Structure 1
Amino acid sequence: MQAKQAFVRNRLEQMIGTRFQVGDKLPSEPDMARELEVSRETFRAAVKLLEQEGKLRVKHGVGTFVVRPLPTIPSPLEKLFSIGSMIRSARLEEGESRMALREEGCPPETAKALGLAPGDPVIVLERIRTANGEPVAFSVNTLPKSLVGNLFSEADFSGSLLSYFKNKLGHKLVTVDSEIAVPLPTDRYVQQLVMNPNSTVLLMKQLHYDEGNRPLLYSLDYLRNDVFTFHIRRTL
């Protein structure tokens, strides 16, 4: 069965770019299964493989469409890069589809990381980052209100948060502690990035320090795993 699925997957991949172009809708499942001389179950399994690879997108009740997958964005874990710089390094067009800014009491986990008391006032910035117009990252950034004061507003903020710290707040963030986790599919931030039922998302919990080793920024970065990849070189 797996051999047949792989065979059909390879046949379909050959058709993409020759017979079918980006944006094209594939013929119906029965017609394609008949043409490839396989069962509908085998054809459906092959389509699922290509959907996981980002080459096809299934819209239930509408059909299966050829899509152009975004290239992966590799990043070494030992280096500190902003999400925007990673997107640009892959020669993709960086964008931002939505931003929300609010003041609230600091939750316990974040307070512990930033050295605050639970309930202390913090500024929370939420951003959806896009690459070539497609959502690829959702960031939840928390800053102490005592650091920001009344400087932070949606009107005067754009671009790199690291640059904003340096140029507007006078603090250069130079070190970060990162934890990589797999968030639950029910996480409301994950839902902002899921492009199809097989999409996966990584969560990076990051605590940023300035040159005086003061923790000034706690970030939850949700990243599409089909776009962002991370690596580290380990030696004995």
Structure 2
Amino acid sequence: MARRETTLQAAQGRLRVLIENEFRPGDKLPNERELADHLEVSRATVREVLGQLAAEGVVTRTWGIGTFVHDAGARVPVSIGDVVALRDRITASGHQPTLQDASVTRTGCPADCADVLGLPPGAPVWQVDRLFAVDEVPAAWIRDHLPLSFEGRAIDPSGLVSIDLDLFEFLATATGMPVRRAEIEMAAILADEEAVVRLGVPAGHPLVYGTQIGYSPDGTPLFHGHLTVRTDVLTLKITRGG
């Protein structure tokens, strides 16, 4: 396993250098076979490296057309280092956020969510589904789960179907406990059938998938969610305080 990771890292490093030195934004890269010959690795390794670079927004892959060097100026940079509404992050970048689709329903709590919120699997929770667009282009699909109540205080998140109300704002008002810390675990994935429908991308399109947990100042989990992001529309920047 370590040897394979070393091969992938080396191939990715060489491909980054190749892109930086010989290509410009918008240029089409050679096909996988040509890149494999140039990098002296297998096509499978090239395919995996291209998937990693696509997830980072370095390249854009279009099914049946090819792989292109992405124009970073066309994407919206979004920092995830602070607990700030996605809506406000997009607006701060000079772009227009909208909700293309949103729903709030009661459902059974998924097992991973139940572990976080301290509920039995299948217990009733609120499910908040929102599809955010940037300048009318689908960009981020977020599905959050919230308990029906906090400390005996029933909550009603139906207002979250509007772009004017953010989850963090809602929780601070509804529970009296602001989201002070959010943890996000991210991974690169390829679009499945549901992501194709939601985000308007072809099957196999590279995406970033994250699991997010929001905590109150005393460490109480307030929500558990999943987000799927198009990195050809949004770039995710992580800022660490020092």
Report TM bin, short chain: 0.5 to 0.7
Q: Secondary structure at the match of 2:194?
A: coil
What is the identity, as a one-letter code, of the residue corresponding to 2:94? Answer: R
Is this contact kept in 2: 1:194–1:200, CA < 8 A?
Answer: no
Q: Does 1:151 align with 2:177?
A: no
Give the Cα separation in 1 of the matches to 2:196 and 2:222.
25
Distance (Å, rounded) in 2 between the aligned partners of 1:203 and 1:122: 22
- Percent of aligned positions that are identical: 19
Please list every run of 5 or more consecutive structure 1 residues that lacks an aligned counterpart in the other structure: 1-5, 14-41, 43-51, 61-68
**Alignment partners' CA distance in 2, 1:123 and 1:114:** 12
In the TM superposition, what is the alpha-carbon distance from 1:157 to its structure 2 partner? 5.0
Distance 2:198 2:190 in 1: 13
Per the TM alignment, residue 139 of structure 1 is displaced from its structure 2 partner at its CA by 0.4
Partner of 2:138: 135
Asked if the contact 2:191/2:205 (under 8 Å) is kept, the reply is no
> What residue is the counterpart of 1:71 in the other structure?
75
| Counterpart-to-counterpart distance in 1, 2:25 and 2:170 | 49
Which amino acid letter does the alignment assign opposite residue 238 of structure 2? H
Q: Flag the structure with more relative contact order, 1 or 2, with Cα contacts below 8 A and sequence separation at least 6.
A: 2
Alignment partners' CA distance in 2, 1:112 and 1:70: 39
Q: In structure 2, which of residues 188, 205, 215 is the aligned counterpart of residue 209 of structure 1? A: 215
1:220 corresponds, among 219, 226, 231, to: 226
Report SS of the residue matched to 2:170: helix
Cα 1:78–1:189 change in 2 (3 A) is same
Higher Cα radius of gyration: 1
- Contact preservation (8 Å) 1:141, 1:220: yes
2:117 match? 114
**1:60-99 alignment runs, 5 A limit:** 70-75=74-79, 77-99=80-102
Pairing 1:230–2:242 present: no
The question of 1:173 aligning with 2:189 is answered no
Q: What is the identity, as a one-letter code, of the residue corresponding to 1:166? A: A
Partner letter of residue 158 of structure 2? S
State the alpha-carbon separation in 2 of the partners of residues 212 and 232 from structure 1: 23
Deviation at 1:133, TM superposition (A): 0.8
Count of residue pairs the alignment pairs up: 194
**Is the CA contact 2:77–2:236 (under 8 Å) kept in the aligned structure 1?**
yes
Higher share of residues assigned helix: 2
Equivalent in the alignment of 2:46: none
Which TM-score applies when normalising by structure 1?
0.65
SS at match of 2:158: coil
Partner of 1:195: 201
Q: 1:115 to 1:163 in 2, by over 3 A?
A: same
- Residue 135 of structure 1 and its aligned partner are, at CA, apart by 0.7
Distance 1:88 1:200 in 2: 25
State the one-letter code of the partner of 2:236. Answer: T
Q: Greater shift after overlay, 77-86 or 134-143? A: 77-86
Q: Deviation per CA, 1:125-171: give whole Å up to 9, x if none.
A: 10000111111000001000123735232588543111111134422
Q: Is the partner of 1:73 in helix, strand or coil? A: strand
Q: Which runs of 5+ in 2 are unaligned?
A: 1-19, 28-33, 35-57, 66-72
